[in-house]
Structure 1
């Protein structure tokens, strides 16, 4: 089975539509559907229409429950500003959808055990990055609240694609669909093969100019928001 892994859409409908065209048998979304982009409602509806299992990210949580997203300082003012826009766009059913998203999903497919969450096994705010020390990751894995009994840990949140091995555990981050932060402007996703256990990281061109035009037409801090997409960070 080919599982398409997507994360950190951030209301970028064009990027989401593009990655969903990748051949797959199933899709799993690791959260952060909303904030920063112009189409939070349409992204939610597309995920709902396709019945895509989706986890709750820190931005989904902030929008749903009107709390701090605890994101990085560099972009936090944009997150706060676009949240007001997002609340103005979403209807009650879409807010309730965000509120009901789970924090963790455990799957066993073709004998492969997967632990899926937005950020880390113990927090939707905690980053696992390529440079995160092994010791710090081990502390996240042994937290008694959410022990990771799996061969594969699948996360998003950093917006940086990664495949990393830590002992017998393989950590997979598909990167960001709609807000890449690694200097590559293309939409990120990954395909996990449950038969082989192999993962392919993908980058796809999408209609970035169309998204930027909508941002400039509708949203506060438009120059900053469009600039992030055009730089890829």
Structure 2
């Protein structure tokens, strides 16, 4: 069984369309929408292709009109693109986002997976660094799992804490890993591999430049896409 794991798509259909299709199942760890120009198309792709999909903090924000609680540097970007996203998707799409679970458990060939967007202790919002000792803590939500899959930080990593593997595939649609490539992970034969691929970033940039959002927001969104760094 070959599992493709993606997170933080952020309405970037160019990045999503380039995802290799050589998988048996697609698992999505949340944040389908916001920041990017194609939320409806992204939701439709995930709805059609993924077997497990979680709600991220931006999905929650769009679906429920809630605060995304993102970092201060991204606050203006999140607020402006949320207003656009709400106007660009259907009522059925919003209901789809609202109905997504905030965590999931899967079992595969003896491995027990706990999936969340942020952390087992705070499913939507906590920013926990890759090297945080908190990953080794026994947390009630993930009790019994030997693999934890999380997104949210846009930083790909795979570490073993005690006897538990913790992995983040990174962001498919808004890399913060130092370059513009889309990030994802593959689980196969009891092993996880972090992967990346280039996509036509300038197509996404052109769409962002046409969005009805402030110029400074467009500038920051484009800088993140092109550089893979926080502006």
Q: Tell me the TM-score normalised to structure 2 length.
A: 0.94
Distance 1:179 1:66 in 2: 22
Unaligned runs of 5+ in 2: none
Q: What is the number of residues matched between the two proteins?
A: 225
Alignment of 1:103-142 (within 5 A): 103-123=102-122, 124-132=124-132, 134=133, 136-139=134-137, 141-142=138-139
Equivalent residue, structure 2, for 1:54: 53
C-alpha separation in 1, matches of 2:37 and 2:50: 22
1:208 counterpart (201, 204, 228): 201
Unaligned runs of 5+ in 1: none
What is the aligned partner in structure 2 of residue 223 from structure 1?
219
CA contact (8 A) 2:25 2:50 kept: no
Spell out the pairing of 1:71-90 with structure 2 (5 A cutoff). Answer: 71-90=70-89
Note the alpha carbon deviations across 1:86-143, whole angstroms, 9 max, x for none: 01101100000000000111011111111111110121101232232x1x3344x42x
Alignment of 1:1-233 (within 5 A): 1-19=1-19, 21-123=20-122, 124-132=124-132, 134=133, 136-139=134-137, 141-142=138-139, 144=140, 146-193=141-188, 195=189, 197-220=190-213, 221-233=217-229
SS at match of 2:18: helix
- 2:80 & 2:46 partners in 1: Cα distance? 24
The alignment partner of 2:115 has SS state of: strand
- Deviation at residue 154 of structure 1 after TM alignment: 0.4
Q: Does the aligned pair in 2 maintain the 1:38–1:219 contact within 8 Å?
A: no
* Deviation beyond 3 Å, 4+ runs, structure 1: none
Q: Is the 8 A contact 2:136 2:162 kept in 1?
A: no
Deviation, 1:51, is 4.3
User: What RMSD over aligned residues (CA atoms) do the two structures have, in Å?
Assistant: 1.2
Does the CA contact (< 8 Å) of 1:6 and 1:29 recur in 2? Answer: yes
Q: Give SS of 2:53's match.
A: coil
Structure 2 residue matching 1:67: 3-state secondary structure? coil
